[in-house]
Structure 1
Amino acid sequence: MIIEPRPPLLRRLPAGVWVGAFWTLVVVFRLFTRRDELRHLFEYEGNIEDMPLLVTAVVTTLVAALLVRLPQAAIAAALAGCLFTLGMRNVPETPVVQFLIADAVVGYTAATRSRTVSLFAAAMPVAMLAGMLAWGAWNGYPVNPMAYGGLAGTVLIAWLVGHTVHQGRAHAEALRGRATEQAVTAERLRIARELHDMVAHSIGIIAIQAGMGSRVMDTQPAETRNALNAIEATSRETLAGLRRMLGALRAGENESAPLEVAPGMAELDRLVERNAGAGVRVAVTRGGEPRTLPADVDLAAFRIVQESVTNVLKHAGTRDCHVTVDYRPHELAVTVVDSGAGRPTASPGTGYGIAGLRERVALLHGEFTAGPRPGGGFRVAARLPIPVEVGP
């Protein structure tokens, strides 16, 4: 099991803590540099015109604290600060700043929440503007409809920007899902080609043994019995592989199948030599008692090592890796570990290869894990069950 390391302490602190610390530093700095201007912040006597800095600090801190979990409450806090600062005649920009903070939260909500939630969030500042406009007209206060319309336009722009970001993320996620699906399909087709090779090779052996047995049936009964035993063993192994793959493979490729026999763990030393020539030093550790594996298990284990070592060469930023092959009583465990910088799972050439390996192991009812190690580097591990042979 891969344990994800905890993020650094500073990254675990909520955004509200950082904003509160920022405003605390601002207030303390101004307290020691301009004490006369800050006197009314701590000796409030009913004049709200002396509190723009304090109100802005409180509102922005609340908004940062509520933004991720309760964005609508963050909008309400910004709008409350806007209404509270309307009477600050000496600093008329303060209500506009509070309203723009609400706009920013509307954009964030549109980018991270559903359309229904984001539309309700956008309706909150628009409803406040409509209420203020109606209240001013009812009480005979001079109002400028164009100014209110401009503020409503900022809400619309913020929502459109956030909604565009939301759609872009959804589109990118759909593309990643489609690419992963295509990679899995391609891997299934590759497995089908390899299984075709295995079956063709086995059928060829059966045909040769059957032909030889028919020719010597009358003159050499012992050779005929050996040919029949070889046919039985080969057919059992092939049928077992077909049974484990049934339902996961499909036909229909126009490509001609390769003529060579599918590789297996017997080719591991040759793979190590080839990669050594390419600059990757592969250390191999074998555990248990090596034995003949079913063709599909043997092929899957080889492909896991091959793909993992190839990823080390391309993406790990190191030239050393360690391969462990453990022959257990009822399973084969394969682990490939490197000490590089790790490989992002969504990058081209790694994530899709990993997806293909996971699909290959799943078809054999095994277990597969892949990911960065806490101490650095990357680890790929697979456990492939080895079916118990059934006697005649």
Structure 2
Amino acid sequence: MSDGRPGRLWDTPALWDAALAAVVALLSIGLAVAFDPAALPEGDGAVRAAAGDSPLSLTLIALACAPIALRRHRPYPMLVLSQVPIVALAAIDADPGTAELATLILLHAVAAHRGLAQSLIALATAGLGYVVAAAFGEIPWTMHLLAGVLLFATWMAGRSSRLRRAYLAELEDRAERLERAREADRRAARAEERQRIARELHDVVAHHVSVMTVQAAAARKVLASNPGLAADALSAIEEMGRTAMAEMRNIVGVLRTDGEDGERAPQPGVGDLPALVEQMREAGLRTQLWVEGDGPKLPPGMDLAVYRLVQEALTNTLRHAGPSARAWVTLRYEPGALTVRVEDDGRGPDPEEAPRERNGRPHRADGARHAGGGDGERTGHGLVGIRERVSLYGGELRVGPRRGGGFEVCARFPLTTASRGER
């Protein structure tokens, strides 16, 4: 029973040590009695018989084996304690049976559970005990050699056991450290993925909602005077909403997949910039696109970063630059670099439209632009996301007022990094 009291008692190491001590003691006493030399002819055998199975000798045998019961808690003191009755047995010329096995068991316990210094002292103690006991009788030199080999082999076995346990403990500790490191990496990867998805969602939602808001405002203005133009604006809003929903489903789909299926949906890139510029023109922002020079095919990550940068910059222009603003998008391929510049000449939102913002609450239009045409409202999460995208590929970003009025977003991507990433 793994959950009952008998099971817990059976798994107690002290119980096994006590049982081992009892077995060794009973075996030693049994051998001492079984091989009683009283049955031998008169002579030296009679003298041995008088000491071999006497109560004193049997008591000494039991005392020599009893320390085995505490071999895990105090192995070295128990080793020293066991040597006393063993030497006493040799002094009275009594047969110790297998009581000397206690010396080997306790020596192994010291070597297996204590440090090198104490284990060497234990080896010397066991050797000294054998020498003292051997001094009371005449023993062939071969027996001395065998005893020395047994003591050293037992000590080596104990040390090997200790080193093996230390090695296994080190492996377990290393495995735990690796598991903690992997868990930290997984948490960092999840945080990075959440941040990436948050950037994607912001770019998609901010762009499409901004365009839909502008289209809705235009439809509201001409609803009474030009219903046909208002209907076209509402159709554009409907198409833009469907496009936004499709992109959001692609992004959210990544969260619902365990593998890489969510990454298979095509992501926008530099090739989609003409369509983006056309969307902005339909929304009322006069936008032009120039591509100067030829360059290598960008890796998917950088291709998406360039598209999102232009998308966010044009969305900010549409929201903050004013109704008569114009925008220019320039992609310039240089030796080892790609420069992306988005400029506008906006002067700020129309003051007449500002009070209608935010559910009819007054909204300040003045002060929205810094001196020189800068826009104080353009430093939100979108530009933070752009900065993160650019820095991810080792690029440089400059955001601020444009000389002559307006606003400018300029980024420079090193193409050497792109080439290495593509390979």
- Provide the TM-score with structure 1 as the length reference: 0.43
Larger Rg: 2
Q: Which has the higher contact order (CA 8 A, sep 6+)?
A: 1
